[in-house]
Amino acid sequence: MLGFGLDMYNILILTFVFDAIRTTFSASLEAASAVATATLTGSVIGGIAFGVIGDRLGRKIALQWALVAFSLGTIASAFSSNIWILIALRFITGIGLGGEWGAGMVLFNEAWDDRYRGFGSAAIQAMSVVGGAAASIVGLWAISRYGTSFGWRVALFIGGAPILLMIFVRYVMPESKVWQAHTADKLNEDPARRNPLDNGWLALVSKPYRSRLIGGVVWLMSYMFTFYAIVVFLPTFWIKTLGVPASTVRTIILVGSVLNIASYLALGMLNDRFGRRWGALVPALFMLVSVLIMWEFADDRFAGDLFRWPMLWAYLIFAMGTAALGVSGPWISELFPVALRSTATSTIYMGGRALGSFAPLAVSVIAGISGGNLWFGMMVALPSAALFLLSTMILPETHRPSVTKIDCAGVEPVVPDAASRRGC
């Protein structure tokens, strides 16, 4: 939970110190923007790299070294002497950031009580709301307290707190017993009977898993695309176009954040009880309905009565819908066997997030083509929300007694692993 909260902190903190960094280094808009791009690009590479490490060397080792890269990159970036060094160090930060989620989430899903795996994963994902709130508080406080040239350094340095988590992982946290059992099976297996599709990228892109890999990436991408297309621009649209006071916008977002956390936990219990698809399908419907309401009332200016303003209810429904991300950990993990789980989970999550991060660019381009109509650009979220709903219905259901039993029984995935071949 702490790791994922700090993950979101390190992504969003750049939003609040962007102008300070640009002023300090007299950087162009393009160069300053590259700092965020480097972080996201690094997260994709880190997700894939540490995913492979997690499958080959262990979940604990992958998580430990991802936290090292994450922390050291963040701390060092606070001492950058020019914009190009900062870009390079944020790329390293991104590598660790990308690896931390996949390694940590897989380790969690293989260790946690299988009856409450959905709820636990949702609680972890809900920390993104806390991390985002912390970024806004720390970012604004650091700039006002320490000034433009030093405040952003303090804000980035605080993001290096995961170094403390690394110490905990190294000396306290145990390795996944599921992965250890799988490794022992592999060592005792007759080499002549070994299936070349048991692990590695060759297996992940092979016929049994290719559709799951592509489906998972599309599922995450469509969610992220919808999320970024709305969240990045909505406050600006409210204030500048619909005449909403900034203080009212802050109140709406605060209420939405509380409702979002509650929705994560409620939907986590839902997907434990009824299945992973239901834990995503309900919020997917919320997201689509909320965007449709926003489309219908795009010209409804704020008249002072908050509770009669349709945009308020559209946003609160949207906030509940974004809790669909809470099911991503168990669902993606359960789609793949032990040998591929870390690689697949990291690749799908980071790949989907990276593709979804193009939403702000798409909104800007479409708004420009339509003569500066920001709302028309934001409505790119409508087809992406529909795609998210469709992909939710297509991905295979994986709700079983436990990840261990899935692998052992050979029910999921299609190609049985070493454990199922030995008849456990």
Look at residue 185 and tell me if it is in a domain: no
Question: What was the pLDDT predicted at 315?
Answer: 94
Verify that 291 and 423 share a domain, yes or no.
yes
Model confidence pLDDT, tens digit, residues 340-358: 888 888 889 888 988 988 8
Q: Is residue 420 scored above 80 in pLDDT?
A: no
Q: What is the pTM of this model?
A: 0.81
Q: Is residue 108 scored above 80 in pLDDT?
A: yes
Q: Is residue 326 scored above 70 in pLDDT?
A: yes
Verify that 154 and 301 share a domain, yes or no.
no
Residues 215-219 have a mean pLDDT of: 95
Verify that 139 and 240 share a domain, yes or no.
no
Verify that 341 and 298 share a domain, yes or no.
yes
Look at residue 184 and tell me if it is in a domain: no
Look at residue 19 and tell me if it is in a domain: yes
Q: What is the mean pLDDT of the chain?
A: 84
Question: What was the pLDDT predicted at 199?
Answer: 55
Residues 9-35 have a mean pLDDT of: 84
> Residue 194: which pLDDT band, with cuts at 50, 70 and 90?
low
Verify that 140 and 168 share a domain, yes or no.
yes
Verify that 289 and 322 share a domain, yes or no.
yes
Verify that 130 and 2 share a domain, yes or no.
yes
Question: What was the pLDDT predicted at 15?
Answer: 78
Look at residue 392 and tell me if it is in a domain: yes
- Provide the domain limits for residue 267: 192-424
Residues 208-223 have a mean pLDDT of: 92
Model confidence pLDDT, tens digit, residues 50-71: 988 988 888 889 988 998 898 8
Q: Is residue 201 scored above 70 in pLDDT?
A: no
| Structure tokens, 103 | 């390694």
Question: What was the pLDDT predicted at 400?
Answer: 59
Look at residue 381 and tell me if it is in a domain: yes
Lowest mean pLDDT among 97-106, 328-337, 393-402: 393-402
Q: Is residue 76 scored above 90 in pLDDT?
A: yes
Verify that 414 and 291 share a domain, yes or no.
yes
Model confidence pLDDT, tens digit, residues 231-269: 878 888 888 889 989 888 888 988 998 999 999 999 999
Q: Is residue 411 scored above 50 in pLDDT?
A: no
Verify that 144 and 214 share a domain, yes or no.
no
> Residue 106: which pLDDT band, with cuts at 50, 70 and 90?
confident
Model confidence pLDDT, tens digit, residues 367-399: 888 887 888 889 999 999 999 999 999 999 887
Verify that 171 and 207 share a domain, yes or no.
no
Question: What was the pLDDT predicted at 314?
Answer: 94
Question: What was the pLDDT predicted at 86?
Answer: 93
Look at residue 336 and tell me if it is in a domain: yes
Verify that 99 and 140 share a domain, yes or no.
yes
CATH of the domain at 341: 1.20.1250.20
Q: Is residue 172 scored above 90 in pLDDT?
A: no
Model confidence pLDDT, tens digit, residues 109-145: 888 888 888 899 899 888 888 888 888 889 889 988 9
Model confidence pLDDT, tens digit, residues 138-160: 988 998 899 988 999 999 999 88
Total number of domains in the chain: 2
Q: Is residue 408 scored above 50 in pLDDT?
A: no
Verify that 395 and 326 share a domain, yes or no.
yes
Look at residue 183 and tell me if it is in a domain: no
Question: What was the pLDDT predicted at 197?
Answer: 52
Look at residue 180 and tell me if it is in a domain: no
